[in-house]
Structure 1
């Protein structure tokens, strides 16, 4: 199996739901904006008439900044579509061109009766299970026996296509998972559930009923489980964590082959997997599927063809010139860095305050065990020689490349945390926070001292850059909208100038300065990269060939003059800069 990108130049690449028209399989709809996380990247509903080869926006309003959880075409009338979104349940009666909000409560899942039309429509909302018998015009709450008293974290619904009165509802509330099965008109709570975690139910959660078997159902959470009903007893099998037949955790969806329900496809944080035997064994379908979510970049100063990047839940990976990257660390890949004075020494983090060091460019690692301090999920990490720093509610720093560590109080307010850092040299560290505070922390020879600088704006600072030709000139980007998103200081943070001409009013995530021309600066945005040639007096797009993905980080390789862009869902891209 091979993959080809088909929506790289659509307004948004964050896709929360996709569905086929059952009466015309080459007609496909996609809802942009991911309900689980990236709802802010919602740009509307897309439609393809050629099986997904080409796409067009069929409706922008009312979905700008809205995330999709589910999207369904009515099997009786394909002009009718239903959408489950972060803003509620929507219906279209003209093939997706216009939409009406029918219930303004967060909506997670939709199960249509195979007859469609005014036949029963089961839908899950943040306030429970509801049914409609008038194509979503109105809804009635469904009472589930022995339900929770706490709010739902997630609720999913599905039905057996050959016996649509047999349905399942799978929910998470508090620390407990719930499952109900309906036969006819009676809902029954299933008490014998597998031991599963609900900690990530907001993110990975589904129920999938086998289309042709009233006693077979799959539950998706961190792992996926197959449930089989024999008489009145259920048996459960973990089908994703099973020794050598395991696949990646964090399950998001599961679907069945139309010709054989034993053939199933699982979608999770690791990509797409196929099983021909109901989950007993799996085959990865990810070769050529370029959807890696990169967080941070680092490089060898001697060649741009050695890169390291942390990826969302797919470890830390290394580029050495081939399009096949090396997997050099497991788990979540957070910020990383290279000792520019000795590039054999590299560092990577997992999540929260963690760090490992390699003295052979990532072949083997030593755990450095920094102290536990509250932080972002992926806190910023900076390396300058043997000075290694991690930004959190305090600064965690060492001057020896490893333990012992020093924790430096930053005097932050409640809820405030370090979000960006830059080491000017081994003795000077700049820190930005989620409320726009800027600090300089300096080594005095015996201790670390901090100075609070002027804030560019009281919003989330996403990146800091220092002009290589002038250590008094700072650049910062902000990823919280509500004003200018790029600022420059020419006096070491005493005052700031907004730099906005030519930039869209969207989050900015990273900034780098050309070492050979201080007036030339690049910023990475939620969509695209922008360049200025006059110190921010005017900006212009610098995205030729770059997909419309979230640009998460930028790295400029001084020696080779290559600009590298890490995207949040389309891997890494590079451009030679003359």
Structure 2
């Protein structure tokens, strides 16, 4: 191992990546510590139709699951990730530090980037960050935020500045945060509970007694944990609503195991507690919870449960719902008592997950059994002014919260934010999904009078003791006074919250350095130019893959979901009058009216692959069901209903997961699951040698092929990477994550070696090194050995790894902590 380390360090030194003698030896392992917003000029149905929204989310969920769980039909053993993450910690770490690139604010409303078809600028969300799943306050000025895969953050000045508290922990997926006001200790439950496409499970519940500087695990590990809420009862107990039921722990002896006080499911059903609350004024004696089967499915246990004797095991009784809410209608639910504890409110997703709410309900008895009165549903919320779909995604985004100072003032979070001042008799939209379509909006900036709003898709709310209300959504954190006011300005708190969820990254040279592009979950495509004070968003919605001209970083191809692509040659700049993007998509799902190709591709993934030829930047290939070739047209590529430069060169009969080209040779990885048998298949088709054929790959695992890396100097030499986990964790998954062929794929060698058993998402060849991004870190291979690459990289899942145009740096897209670089960027 010493000789291999010496070789690697010598290689890095030659590249100028090791700049001091102290860095010449590897450091010890560190201690343990989808859906879419459619452009405003697309068909309005695409953005507001419940069926379309649910279909997109389902497609995204399936892809994200396949990458991590295939060939299994059910998720991998949740312990698999943590075992792999620990494997990575044991490898020697190569010198050099990762540097954060996205430490500048991300402006979604940049006024110079207003393409009339693809931009969401002037939607009103302003600076944005990634999805916020939970929040808690401590006094007047301190706010804690839990992010989807971005860890825990703290602000001591009401959100003006933020600092990360969680980057080195095993999992950055956060579901719940709570603060004990008596001693200011902080509780964090890992694992999201909102059933999004990219929600990840956690490992445990933690406590910090020093405001997040150090963390202690409470009780046992819960691999695959999803935490919906943490509450303290003021009587010596903390409760956690989780996918393992309702848990309770005494506020002492933190190493003692958690007690499961409520888990009513039997047989194949599961007890997912989606909320827990303590009734105000009860001194901890009245505890209510809601339990549903797996969170999104009908089940006999779907109901409210109540304890009136302190919440211990065996004290909860099922509450038969009466009035307008029937037991069979209860799916994922959040609820709250008002400030006096006299009235109970609940927002309930349909148990069959039809894309509609069962409704918003009020129990004037204050009892979880009701009788319940329906005070809102999807049709009434749309009538009240919803810009979103009025609750079609209640399994993803929902909350109901009571103003601590006014028992009749209630907030409701769905796609928009609503409030009622009369206990639900009437509702007002106070945080629109966006400003497009409102009377105040105009394409003429001189006539645009809309105030800033929040980002779409609401997940969390918290109240400070100074009367400030904080709101968390897919674009980060916003605040406003909690009390009712006729005119309220939203405060945007995202400038320093670096939790962006990237799918991709690309870069090209411009004067002064590199233009860096990246596609994000629900935050479009970002562009960071050298010396800029903030990133901008030329392209809205969900951003997928990117192609960037390495010699001219203002020339890029951006992707909306399902291979809907558009190209720009000026970095996406537009004043809304002249399009900066040319739509040229071969997808049947292209949302821009009048541009759907004929023929078109009906079978692309949610985030579909396409790439530039490694030897010719103007030659592009793309994959859906078909393999498409733009015939080398580059930035002259056009595609529409009567003529299209994209040509079908091969039919996989499946779904392409990765596609690359070198000259006339193309490789396309694919997947499909037999709908009759449920058996998962993957493989590679290529025209290497002159004709298209399916490679015989008997020694390759049948898992999702995430990337293909071609050798620029040697034809037929390539590497491939696999997602998922090996058959140690998933039956039938086979062995290995990285394979090499020297003969165009006729034969393969397993190069996995000591690489951690983790979903391996991206491979690149870089100055003699093979680099691999995984769900927990980046690793490099040289002389037959694997090493962890560099220090300082947060433990968010890696999505794509690319080589910067100058060749001396790697760029990494993470799904929760933004973009990072390793090496010397010139």
Aligned-pair distance for 1:346?
A: 1.2
SS at match of 2:451: helix
Cα–Cα, structure 1 residues 441 and 153, in superposed 2: closer, same or farther, change >3 Å?
farther
Aligned-pair distance for 1:576?
A: 1.0
What's the CA shift string for 1:230-264, capped at 9, x where partnerless? 7x83333343345423221011111222232xx31
Aligned-pair distance for 1:459?
A: 0.7
Paired with 2:669 and 2:717, the residues of 1 have a C-alpha distance of 15
**Stretch of structure 1 that moved more, 140-149 or 47-56:** 140-149
Paired with 1:142 and 1:365, the residues of 2 have a C-alpha distance of 56
The one of 331, 353, 356 equivalent to 1:176 is 356
Q: Corresponding residue for 1:316?
A: 525
Paired with 1:354 and 1:39, the residues of 2 have a C-alpha distance of 24
The one of 388, 401, 419 equivalent to 1:208 is 401
Q: Corresponding residue for 1:358?
A: 568
The one of 381, 397, 404 equivalent to 2:610 is 381
Aligned-pair distance for 1:217?
A: 1.4
Q: Corresponding residue for 1:143?
A: 320
Tell me whether 1:83 sits opposite 2:325 in the alignment: no
Asked whether the 8 Å contact 1:553–1:565 carries over to 2, the reply is: yes
What's the CA shift string for 1:479-512, capped at 9, x where partnerless? 2112322222222212222223222212111111
- Residues 306-455 of structure 1 correspond to what in structure 2 (within 5 A)? 306-322=515-531, 324-340=534-550, 344-363=554-573, 364-372=580-588, 373-384=602-613, 385-399=617-631, 400=633, 401-403=637-639, 404=644, 405-407=646-648, 410-412=651-653, 416-425=654-663, 427-433=665-671, 435-440=681-686, 450-455=692-697
SS at match of 2:560: coil
TM-score relative to the length of structure 2 = 0.63
What's the CA shift string for 1:174-205, capped at 9, x where partnerless? 24321211122443222444124333222211
SS at match of 1:194: helix
Aligned-pair distance for 1:40?
A: 4.2
In terms of fraction of residues, the more helix-rich structure is 2
Paired with 1:294 and 1:166, the residues of 2 have a C-alpha distance of 42
Paired with 2:430 and 2:688, the residues of 1 have a C-alpha distance of 52
Q: Corresponding residue for 1:223?
A: 416
Aligned-pair distance for 1:439?
A: 1.6
Aligned-pair distance for 1:419?
A: 1.9
Q: Corresponding residue for 1:290?
A: 498
Q: Corresponding residue for 1:120?
A: 287
Aligned-pair distance for 1:551?
A: 1.4
Asked whether the 8 Å contact 1:228–1:236 carries over to 2, the reply is: no
Q: Corresponding residue for 2:785?
A: 538
Cα–Cα, structure 1 residues 149 and 375, in superposed 2: closer, same or farther, change >3 Å?
farther
- Residues 44-55 of structure 1 correspond to what in structure 2 (within 5 A)? 44-55=204-215
Tell me whether 1:507 sits opposite 2:759 in the alignment: yes
What's the CA shift string for 1:130-149, capped at 9, x where partnerless? 22334152432223333368
Q: Corresponding residue for 2:811?
A: 564
Paired with 2:307 and 2:820, the residues of 1 have a C-alpha distance of 47
Cα–Cα, structure 1 residues 464 and 432, in superposed 2: closer, same or farther, change >3 Å?
farther
In terms of fraction of residues, the more strand-rich structure is 1
Q: Corresponding residue for 2:59?
A: none
- Residues 194-273 of structure 1 correspond to what in structure 2 (within 5 A)? 194-195=381-382, 196-229=389-422, 233-241=425-433, 243-260=450-467, 263-273=468-478
**Stretch of structure 1 that moved more, 284-293 or 174-183:** 174-183
Aligned-pair distance for 1:342?
A: 6.2
Cα–Cα, structure 1 residues 371 and 3, in superposed 2: closer, same or farther, change >3 Å?
same
Aligned-pair distance for 1:296?
A: 0.6
The one of 741, 746, 750 equivalent to 1:489 is 741
CA RMSD in angstroms, aligned pairs only: 2.7
Asked whether the 8 Å contact 1:387–1:426 carries over to 2, the reply is: no
Q: Corresponding residue for 1:29?
A: 187
Asked whether the 8 Å contact 1:439–1:452 carries over to 2, the reply is: yes
Paired with 2:451 and 2:208, the residues of 1 have a C-alpha distance of 39
SS at match of 1:165: coil
What's the CA shift string for 1:297-354, capped at 9, x where partnerless? 1121688622111111111111223473222212211111024576553100111220
SS at match of 2:341: strand
Asked whether the 8 Å contact 1:166–1:183 carries over to 2, the reply is: yes
Cα–Cα, structure 1 residues 509 and 113, in superposed 2: closer, same or farther, change >3 Å?
same
Cα–Cα, structure 1 residues 311 and 176, in superposed 2: closer, same or farther, change >3 Å?
closer
The one of 480, 492, 495 equivalent to 2:724 is 480
The one of 273, 284, 307 equivalent to 1:107 is 273
Paired with 2:689 and 2:400, the residues of 1 have a C-alpha distance of 55
Q: Corresponding residue for 1:190?
A: 374
Paired with 2:189 and 2:663, the residues of 1 have a C-alpha distance of 46
Structure 1 gap segments, 5+ residues each: none
Cα–Cα, structure 1 residues 113 and 441, in superposed 2: closer, same or farther, change >3 Å?
farther
Paired with 2:715 and 2:225, the residues of 1 have a C-alpha distance of 41
The one of 215, 220, 225 equivalent to 1:66 is 225
Paired with 1:354 and 1:47, the residues of 2 have a C-alpha distance of 44
Asked whether the 8 Å contact 2:514–2:553 carries over to 1, the reply is: no
Cα–Cα, structure 1 residues 194 and 513, in superposed 2: closer, same or farther, change >3 Å?
same
Aligned-pair distance for 1:74?
A: 2.4
Report the number of matched residues: 558
Q: Corresponding residue for 1:93?
A: 250
Q: Corresponding residue for 1:467?
A: 711
SS at match of 1:476: strand
Structure 2 gap segments, 5+ residues each: 1-159, 264-269, 294-301, 383-388, 436-449, 574-579, 589-601, 673-680, 727-734
**Stretch of structure 1 that moved more, 171-180 or 85-94:** 85-94
Asked whether the 8 Å contact 2:336–2:402 carries over to 1, the reply is: yes
Aligned-pair distance for 1:427?
A: 4.9
TM-score relative to the length of structure 1 = 0.89
Cα–Cα, structure 1 residues 153 and 296, in superposed 2: closer, same or farther, change >3 Å?
farther
Aligned-pair distance for 1:81?
A: 2.0
Tell me whether 1:156 sits opposite 2:334 in the alignment: yes
What's the CA shift string for 1:426-463, capped at 9, x where partnerless? 5524334364311225797xxxx632123421011112
Aligned-pair distance for 1:70?
A: 1.4
Higher relative contact order (CA 8 A, sep 6+): 2
Asked whether the 8 Å contact 2:758–2:775 carries over to 1, the reply is: yes
Cα–Cα, structure 1 residues 86 and 376, in superposed 2: closer, same or farther, change >3 Å?
farther
Q: Corresponding residue for 2:73?
A: none
